[in-house]
Amino acid sequence: MEKIRYAIAGSAGRMGRTLIEAVQQDPEATLAAALEHSASPFLGRDAGELVGAPCGIKIGADVDAALAVSDCLIDFTRPEGTLQHIEACKRHKVAMVIGTTGFSAEGKAVIAEASRTIPIVFAPNMAVGVNAVFRLLDVAARILNQGYDIEVIEAHHRHKVDAPSGTALRMGEVVAKALGRDLAECAVYGREGHTGERPAPQIGFSTIRGGDIVGDHTVLFAGGGERIEITHKSASRMPYAQGALRAARFMRGRGSGLFDMQDVLGLR
Protein backbone atom coordinates (compact mmCIF):
# COMPACT_ATOMS: atom_id res chain seq x y z
CA MET A 1 0.00 0.00 0.00
CA GLU A 2 1.31 3.44 -0.89
CA LYS A 3 2.24 5.81 1.90
CA ILE A 4 -0.16 8.63 2.73
CA ARG A 5 1.32 11.98 1.73
CA TYR A 6 0.67 14.55 4.47
CA ALA A 7 0.58 18.33 4.50
CA ILE A 8 0.84 19.83 7.99
CA ALA A 9 -0.71 23.24 8.71
CA GLY A 10 0.90 25.37 11.40
CA SER A 11 4.00 23.20 11.10
CA ALA A 12 6.24 25.36 13.29
CA GLY A 13 3.81 25.42 16.22
CA ARG A 14 3.75 23.07 19.19
CA MET A 15 1.24 20.69 17.64
CA GLY A 16 2.69 21.06 14.16
CA ARG A 17 6.11 19.90 15.31
CA THR A 18 4.58 16.92 17.06
CA LEU A 19 2.71 16.00 13.88
CA ILE A 20 5.93 16.20 11.85
CA GLU A 21 7.61 13.88 14.34
CA ALA A 22 4.67 11.45 14.24
CA VAL A 23 4.67 11.37 10.44
CA GLN A 24 8.41 10.67 10.38
CA GLN A 25 7.91 7.76 12.79
CA ASP A 26 5.00 6.20 10.83
CA PRO A 27 6.08 3.69 8.14
CA GLU A 28 2.77 4.29 6.33
CA ALA A 29 3.29 8.06 6.10
CA THR A 30 5.46 10.60 4.34
CA LEU A 31 5.68 14.36 4.85
CA ALA A 32 4.80 16.03 1.54
CA ALA A 33 4.42 19.65 2.67
CA ALA A 34 4.75 21.86 5.74
CA LEU A 35 2.76 25.09 5.91
CA GLU A 36 3.07 28.31 7.87
CA HIS A 37 1.56 31.79 7.53
CA SER A 38 3.19 34.21 5.09
CA ALA A 39 4.94 36.23 7.82
CA SER A 40 6.41 33.25 9.65
CA PRO A 41 10.15 33.43 10.40
CA PHE A 42 10.32 29.68 9.72
CA LEU A 43 9.56 29.95 5.99
CA GLY A 44 12.23 28.23 3.92
CA ARG A 45 13.56 26.11 6.78
CA ASP A 46 13.69 22.34 6.60
CA ALA A 47 10.57 21.15 8.45
CA GLY A 48 12.37 18.14 9.85
CA GLU A 49 14.98 20.34 11.50
CA LEU A 50 12.25 21.50 13.90
CA VAL A 51 12.26 18.02 15.43
CA GLY A 52 15.91 17.23 14.92
CA ALA A 53 15.51 15.09 11.80
CA PRO A 54 16.00 17.01 8.50
CA CYS A 55 13.81 15.66 5.71
CA GLY A 56 14.28 18.00 2.74
CA ILE A 57 10.77 19.47 2.94
CA LYS A 58 10.90 23.24 3.17
CA ILE A 59 8.28 25.15 5.16
CA GLY A 60 6.15 27.27 2.81
CA ALA A 61 3.05 29.43 2.67
CA ASP A 62 1.61 28.33 -0.69
CA VAL A 63 -1.36 26.18 0.27
CA ASP A 64 -2.28 25.25 -3.28
CA ALA A 65 1.26 24.08 -4.06
CA ALA A 66 1.29 22.02 -0.87
CA LEU A 67 -2.03 20.34 -1.55
CA ALA A 68 -1.10 19.54 -5.14
CA VAL A 69 1.35 16.93 -3.80
CA SER A 70 -0.64 15.76 -0.75
CA ASP A 71 -3.35 13.23 0.07
CA CYS A 72 -4.38 14.69 3.44
CA LEU A 73 -4.03 18.01 5.26
CA ILE A 74 -3.84 17.88 9.05
CA ASP A 75 -4.90 21.16 10.62
CA PHE A 76 -4.63 22.01 14.33
CA THR A 77 -4.46 25.79 13.89
CA ARG A 78 -7.18 28.40 14.43
CA PRO A 79 -10.69 28.60 12.99
CA GLU A 80 -9.99 31.43 10.56
CA GLY A 81 -7.01 29.62 9.06
CA THR A 82 -8.72 26.25 8.96
CA LEU A 83 -11.72 27.67 7.10
CA GLN A 84 -9.40 29.03 4.42
CA HIS A 85 -7.67 25.67 4.16
CA ILE A 86 -11.02 23.94 3.71
CA GLU A 87 -11.66 25.85 0.50
CA ALA A 88 -8.23 24.86 -0.83
CA CYS A 89 -8.80 21.21 0.08
CA LYS A 90 -12.08 21.25 -1.81
CA ARG A 91 -10.31 22.60 -4.89
CA HIS A 92 -7.68 19.87 -4.78
CA LYS A 93 -9.95 17.06 -3.51
CA VAL A 94 -7.67 16.52 -0.51
CA ALA A 95 -8.91 14.89 2.70
CA MET A 96 -8.73 16.85 5.97
CA VAL A 97 -8.14 15.98 9.59
CA ILE A 98 -9.34 18.95 11.66
CA GLY A 99 -8.25 19.20 15.29
CA THR A 100 -8.82 22.96 15.48
CA THR A 101 -11.28 24.04 18.19
CA GLY A 102 -13.28 27.20 18.89
CA PHE A 103 -15.47 27.19 15.77
CA SER A 104 -18.71 29.16 15.69
CA ALA A 105 -21.91 27.50 14.52
CA GLU A 106 -21.32 29.10 11.13
CA GLY A 107 -17.82 27.63 10.94
CA LYS A 108 -19.10 24.17 11.78
CA ALA A 109 -21.69 24.55 9.01
CA VAL A 110 -18.89 25.32 6.53
CA ILE A 111 -17.11 22.11 7.58
CA ALA A 112 -20.30 20.08 7.18
CA GLU A 113 -20.89 21.54 3.72
CA ALA A 114 -17.31 20.82 2.64
CA SER A 115 -17.69 17.19 3.72
CA ARG A 116 -20.08 16.70 0.81
CA THR A 117 -17.09 17.17 -1.47
CA ILE A 118 -14.15 15.72 0.51
CA PRO A 119 -13.74 13.35 3.48
CA ILE A 120 -13.18 15.15 6.80
CA VAL A 121 -12.48 13.86 10.28
CA PHE A 122 -13.40 16.69 12.65
CA ALA A 123 -13.00 16.07 16.38
CA PRO A 124 -12.24 18.24 19.41
CA ASN A 125 -9.67 15.70 20.57
CA MET A 126 -7.89 13.08 18.47
CA ALA A 127 -6.36 11.12 21.36
CA VAL A 128 -7.63 7.54 21.57
CA GLY A 129 -7.69 7.72 25.37
CA VAL A 130 -9.89 10.81 25.41
CA ASN A 131 -12.34 9.18 23.05
CA ALA A 132 -12.48 6.17 25.36
CA VAL A 133 -13.34 8.62 28.14
CA PHE A 134 -16.22 9.99 26.06
CA ARG A 135 -17.71 6.49 26.00
CA LEU A 136 -17.13 6.03 29.75
CA LEU A 137 -18.90 9.34 30.42
CA ASP A 138 -21.93 8.23 28.45
CA VAL A 139 -22.18 5.07 30.56
CA ALA A 140 -21.54 6.89 33.85
CA ALA A 141 -24.12 9.59 33.16
CA ARG A 142 -26.81 7.03 32.41
CA ILE A 143 -26.08 5.23 35.68
CA LEU A 144 -25.65 8.38 37.80
CA ASN A 145 -28.76 10.03 36.41
CA GLN A 146 -30.29 11.03 39.75
CA GLY A 147 -28.83 12.78 42.79
CA TYR A 148 -25.49 13.78 41.26
CA ASP A 149 -24.26 17.26 40.38
CA ILE A 150 -21.98 17.40 37.34
CA GLU A 151 -18.95 19.65 36.88
CA VAL A 152 -16.37 19.69 34.08
CA ILE A 153 -12.91 20.98 35.02
CA GLU A 154 -10.20 21.52 32.42
CA ALA A 155 -6.66 22.91 32.43
CA HIS A 156 -4.39 23.94 29.55
CA HIS A 157 -1.22 25.91 28.88
CA ARG A 158 -1.21 29.69 28.94
CA HIS A 159 -1.16 29.97 25.12
CA LYS A 160 -4.56 28.35 24.51
CA VAL A 161 -6.94 30.95 23.11
CA ASP A 162 -10.38 29.33 23.48
CA ALA A 163 -12.23 28.38 26.66
CA PRO A 164 -13.64 26.01 27.67
CA SER A 165 -11.62 23.63 25.56
CA GLY A 166 -13.31 21.77 22.74
CA THR A 167 -12.73 18.54 24.65
CA ALA A 168 -14.44 19.89 27.77
CA LEU A 169 -17.41 21.03 25.70
CA ARG A 170 -17.67 17.63 24.04
CA MET A 171 -17.58 15.98 27.46
CA GLY A 172 -20.46 18.21 28.50
CA GLU A 173 -22.35 17.37 25.32
CA VAL A 174 -21.89 13.63 25.88
CA VAL A 175 -23.15 13.84 29.46
CA ALA A 176 -26.07 16.13 28.58
CA LYS A 177 -27.20 13.87 25.74
CA ALA A 178 -27.05 10.80 27.96
CA LEU A 179 -29.24 12.61 30.50
CA GLY A 180 -31.68 13.97 27.93
CA ARG A 181 -30.65 17.57 28.57
CA ASP A 182 -29.79 20.42 26.21
CA LEU A 183 -26.29 21.65 27.07
CA ALA A 184 -27.08 25.12 25.71
CA GLU A 185 -29.79 25.45 28.36
CA CYS A 186 -28.11 23.84 31.37
CA ALA A 187 -24.42 24.82 31.03
CA VAL A 188 -22.83 27.39 33.35
CA TYR A 189 -19.38 28.72 32.46
CA GLY A 190 -17.82 29.94 35.70
CA ARG A 191 -19.48 31.42 38.77
CA GLU A 192 -18.99 34.63 40.69
CA GLY A 193 -20.78 36.54 43.43
CA HIS A 194 -24.07 35.54 45.06
CA THR A 195 -25.10 32.74 42.71
CA GLY A 196 -27.78 31.14 44.86
CA GLU A 197 -28.24 27.41 45.26
CA ARG A 198 -27.06 25.16 42.48
CA PRO A 199 -29.92 23.94 40.29
CA ALA A 200 -29.85 20.16 39.94
CA PRO A 201 -29.88 20.02 36.10
CA GLN A 202 -26.91 22.37 35.80
CA ILE A 203 -23.63 21.25 34.18
CA GLY A 204 -20.81 23.52 35.31
CA PHE A 205 -17.53 24.29 33.55
CA SER A 206 -14.33 25.51 35.19
CA THR A 207 -11.29 26.59 33.19
CA ILE A 208 -7.64 26.80 34.25
CA ARG A 209 -4.93 28.38 32.08
CA GLY A 210 -1.28 28.34 33.06
CA GLY A 211 2.26 27.22 32.38
CA ASP A 212 2.80 24.41 29.90
CA ILE A 213 -0.11 22.11 30.85
CA VAL A 214 -0.78 20.01 27.76
CA GLY A 215 -4.36 19.18 28.71
CA ASP A 216 -6.15 17.87 31.80
CA HIS A 217 -9.88 17.09 31.87
CA THR A 218 -12.05 15.86 34.73
CA VAL A 219 -15.79 15.27 34.90
CA LEU A 220 -17.00 15.22 38.50
CA PHE A 221 -20.24 13.52 39.54
CA ALA A 222 -20.85 14.80 43.07
CA GLY A 223 -23.53 13.00 45.06
CA GLY A 224 -24.51 12.83 48.71
CA GLY A 225 -21.63 11.17 50.52
CA GLU A 226 -19.57 10.27 47.43
CA ARG A 227 -17.81 11.66 44.40
CA ILE A 228 -16.99 9.94 41.12
CA GLU A 229 -14.31 11.52 38.96
CA ILE A 230 -13.42 10.50 35.42
CA THR A 231 -10.13 12.08 34.42
CA HIS A 232 -7.81 12.18 31.44
CA LYS A 233 -4.38 13.84 31.63
CA SER A 234 -2.08 14.41 28.67
CA ALA A 235 1.66 14.28 29.30
CA SER A 236 2.51 15.13 25.68
CA ARG A 237 0.88 16.04 22.36
CA MET A 238 1.95 12.81 20.69
CA PRO A 239 -1.34 10.95 21.38
CA TYR A 240 -3.20 13.71 19.50
CA ALA A 241 -0.82 13.38 16.55
CA GLN A 242 -1.03 9.58 16.48
CA GLY A 243 -4.81 9.81 16.58
CA ALA A 244 -4.76 12.25 13.66
CA LEU A 245 -2.73 9.80 11.57
CA ARG A 246 -5.16 7.04 12.49
CA ALA A 247 -7.99 9.31 11.32
CA ALA A 248 -6.24 9.86 7.99
CA ARG A 249 -5.83 6.12 7.47
CA PHE A 250 -9.56 5.70 8.20
CA MET A 251 -10.38 8.03 5.28
CA ARG A 252 -8.45 6.01 2.69
CA GLY A 253 -10.75 5.29 -0.24
CA ARG A 254 -13.55 7.54 1.02
CA GLY A 255 -14.65 10.21 -1.44
CA SER A 256 -16.54 12.38 1.01
CA GLY A 257 -18.23 12.43 4.42
CA LEU A 258 -17.99 14.01 7.86
CA PHE A 259 -16.58 11.78 10.60
CA ASP A 260 -15.23 12.07 14.13
CA MET A 261 -12.96 9.89 16.25
CA GLN A 262 -15.86 7.78 17.43
CA ASP A 263 -16.27 6.71 13.77
CA VAL A 264 -12.53 6.20 13.38
CA LEU A 265 -12.40 3.94 16.45
CA GLY A 266 -15.55 2.00 15.54
CA LEU A 267 -17.45 3.21 18.62
CA ARG A 268 -20.70 4.16 16.87
Catalytic residue among 3, 92, 160, 177: 160
Cα–chain center distance at 172: 15
**Which value, to the nearest 10 degrees, does the dihedral of the CA atoms of residues 174, 179, 184, 189 take?**
-80
CB 262 within 8 A of CB 131: yes
Catalytic residue among 85, 156, 217, 232: 156
**Peptide bond just before 119 cis, omega within 30 deg:** no
Query: β-pairing, 203-209 with 148-156?
Result: parallel
Cα angle: 225, vertex 139, 199; to 5 degrees? 50
* Angstrom distance (rounded) from CA 217 to CA 137: 12
What DSSP character marks residue 126?
A: -
* Angstrom distance (rounded) from CA 157 to CA 54: 28
Query: In the beta sheet, which residues pair with residue 33?
Result: 7
Residue 156 known to be catalytic? yes
* Angstrom distance (rounded) from CA 130 to CA 136: 10
Active site residues: 156, 160
